[in-house]
Amino acid sequence: MRSIKQHIVIAVIVISSALTGVAFSQKPTIAPAPNGITLPTDYKDWRVIATSHRTDNNTLRVILGNDIAIQAAREGKTNPWPEGTILAKLVWKDTQHEKWPTATIPGDFVHAEFMIKATEKYATTGGWGFARWLGMEQQPYGKEADFVKECFDCHTPVKANDYVFTRPVSLP
């Protein structure tokens, strides 16, 4: 039978664990993709490479790039993209602007998806690592590491463009 002191020690441990859990839940870490790729921490601060509007699934997109990608885009050296390139595609559902009905603008956030160039590491998928996180909760997409087959298959039509759909925008 436990003493009063033992009961107090156990109670303190239980309460401490609960509080630690609360603290963690306030700063949730984003789970990695099933292939081990982790979410780039600073992607929302990256610079713009392009935008697009898909009418087959009614989404607006902004494509950002890390510093390596931006330099390559501005120098026109994107076929192939250099090692270390990361492209981020941010996707929102279409909505109409309430004061300008012919303007389609971003509504609910759908997902953020990434292509990471590492030719040897990702040799079986064109030299690109693929990953996607869904929604505002940033749940990793896919159940097994082979989810990337779906990504890669879809990108095969642009094999001649280093498997990348995005064309960097013209800028003065």
Give the footprint of a second copy on this chain (CB under 8 A): 44-48, 50-56, 60-62, 64, 90, 92, 97, 99-100, 102-109, 112, 133, 135-138, 157-158, 161, 165, 167, 169-172
Place of tokens 């982790």: 38
Answer for the pair 92, 104: CB distance below 8 angstroms, yes or no: no
| Minimum CB distance to a second copy smaller for 80 or for 118 | 80
Could you tell me the smallest distance in angstroms from the CB atom of residue 83 to a second copy? 23
CA atoms within 13 A of residue 164's CA, in its CB half-sphere: 29
Nearer to a second copy, 61 or 117 (CB): 61
Residue 11: how many other CB atoms lie within 10 Å? 10
Closest CB to a second copy among 39 and 116? 39
9 vs 24, which CB is nearer to a second copy? 24
Q: How far is the CB of 91 from a second copy (least distance, A)?
A: 10
DSSP structure string for 2-41: --HHHHHHHHHHHHHHHHHHHHHHHSPPPPPPTTSPPPPT
CB of 20 to a second copy, least distance (A): 24
**Shortest distance, position 137 Cβ to a second copy, whole Å:** 7
Supply the Cα-derived Rg of the chain in whole angstroms.
Answer: 22
Q: Alpha-carbon distance 7 to 13, whole Å? A: 10
The SS3 of residue 127 is coil
10 Å Cβ neighbour count for 133? Answer: 19
Question: Rounded to the nearest whole angstrom, what is the least distance from the CB of residue 157 to a second copy in the complex?
Answer: 5
Which is closer to a second copy, CB of 77 or CB of 97?
A: 97
